[in-house]
Amino acid sequence: MEFFDTIIQISDSAVRLAIPLLLACLAGLFSERGGIFDIGLEGKMLAAAFLSAAVAAATGNVWLGLASGIGISVFLGLIHGVASITFRGDQLISGVAINFLAAGLTVVIGQAWFGLGGRTPPLSGSGRFANLEWPVADALQDVPVVGPIYAELISGHTVLVYVALLIVPLSWYVLFRTRFGLRLRAVGENPGAVDTAGISVVRLRYSAVIICGVLCGLAGAYLSTGLAAGFVKDMSAGRGFIALAALIFAKWRPVQALIACLLFGFLEAIANRYQSIDTGAFEIPVQFMQALPYILTVVILAGFIGKAIPPKAGGEAYVKER
């Protein structure tokens, strides 16, 4: 029974850790399905995490913080859109620039605003998202098997966790069962054919960029006001890049993206729980455990997942034929 409780605790932690990855992965999914590669997921998450925590700390209202985080993420996304769609610049360079911009400005503004070395004050009360307890969770706590699963794994998360999980089937429906989704996927594959049909390629790609910004804003806000209780320097910790690796692993599909992000979250949860493992014959060092999610990222990017074919027009600026 102790082993089962350990598995539940690790799984609960894995879900919490997977949520920012999942939201960022879905953000990249919409963007890349529309033909816009976005290396700037990391920067948008970081900026959203900072502004969400900063506004929540200043106002005591986490919802204002959430709105601010989404707003700055969409703003940075539009900058990326203007650079890569309107001016047809290099999408990778634009994304990297956003990452550098966010990494620098969050520390500088944070220090000027709060004087805490780039951190925000600790959040509490209405300044952060509280865990939601589902009905009869306490009563079922001691029921074997079912109780821990319901009371710890299903219940007890913040509202953003449930929102993120609901976005997965919603994303699938939008992309594969709506006219907008069909057009967006077509823009990522053959923008010329979409343009010939009289549909605006620019409008669709900007729509993808805005959706990407909203989802990155949710991811960043969750990091600083849901998963943690405030912002610290570089708190996104490469999650934007891991989300891109998960997107490749998922082959640009929402449900597979959920599975990939849960896998990353599970490895990170194991690394957090078991700082070192003694097998008897030898000891696995803490550094290896901490590197597990990143090792998996390298393995995925090395191509050990079968053939992953990105959208054909991804990363290419579209020039309208006259």
**Which string of DSSP letters, residue by residue, matches 111-173?**
HHHH-STT--PPP-GGGSPPPBPPTTHHHHTTSTTHHHIIIIIISSB-HHHHHHHHHHHHHHH
pLDDT at 282: 67
Q: For 67-110, how does the pLDDT look when each residue is reduced to its tens digit (9 = 90+)?
A: 999 999 999 999 999 999 999 889 999 999 999 999 999 999 99
According to the model, what pLDDT value does residue 303 have? 57
DSSP states of 236-251: TTTHHHHHHHHHHHTT
- Give the C-alpha separation, 293 to 237, whole Å: 12
Which stretches in the chain have pLDDT values below 50?
Answer: none
Distances (CA, A) of 259 to 18, 112, 215: 10, 40, 18
Q: pLDDT digits over 220-268, tens only?
A: 999 999 999 999 999 998 899 989 988 988 889 999 999 989 988 888 8
User: Please, what is the angle between helix 41-59 and helix 91-114, to 10°?
Assistant: 20
Q: What is the pLDDT, as a whole number, of residue 295?
A: 78
pLDDT value at residue 106? 94
- pLDDT (0 to 100) of residue 281: 65
Structure tokens that stand for 129 in this block: 């998202």
Which residue is it, tokens 């979409």? 194
User: In whole angstroms, how far apart are CA 319 and each of 84, 94, 120, 281, 313?
Assistant: 12, 18, 44, 62, 12
